[in-house]
Structure 1
Amino acid sequence: MATPHAARRNITRTALDEAQHAVDVLRRSLADAQVTLPSLQVDLPGATSGHPMVDLGRLRADEAVRLAQALRHGGVSA
């Protein structure tokens, strides 16, 4: 039988993996739309508490406009 500590470690690992997967998927999708979120990363406090979270960070104003266009139109044309 798993100890409470081992069970928590498994939940944390799963949350970290889920959050990292979300970061990877989002980064690829943003790149397809020619948008870069330089601070995009796993939110460690959230993930280590068992709640997978992603920190979107900050971005330049022109990147924010490009992101809004991509969301509105399903992509950005070059």
Structure 2
Amino acid sequence: ANLAHVKRGNPPIITLDPYIEVFEEGNELARPDWRLARDLVLIRMVERLYEQGWLGSNVDVIPEPAEEETKSD
């Protein structure tokens, strides 16, 4: 959803700092898997590419979201 939102020319819905604060404030919320790290990297990547203007000038190379993702938007 975040990438689709940016593809339409909008700023990212989710940025890294507010997202990570949720996990820093929680008690005993350790995640024993790799998904949190993956999500953090993807969020920061979208945020930085948007800030640098790359996403806005390369909309044609951003893939369309999968059907499952568009149903939840």
Question: TM above 0.5, one fold?
Answer: no
Give 1 or 2: higher strand fraction. Answer: 1
What TM-score, normalized to structure 1? 0.31
What TM-score, normalized to structure 2? 0.32
Higher relative contact order (CA 8 A, sep 6+): 2
CA radius of gyration, larger in: 1
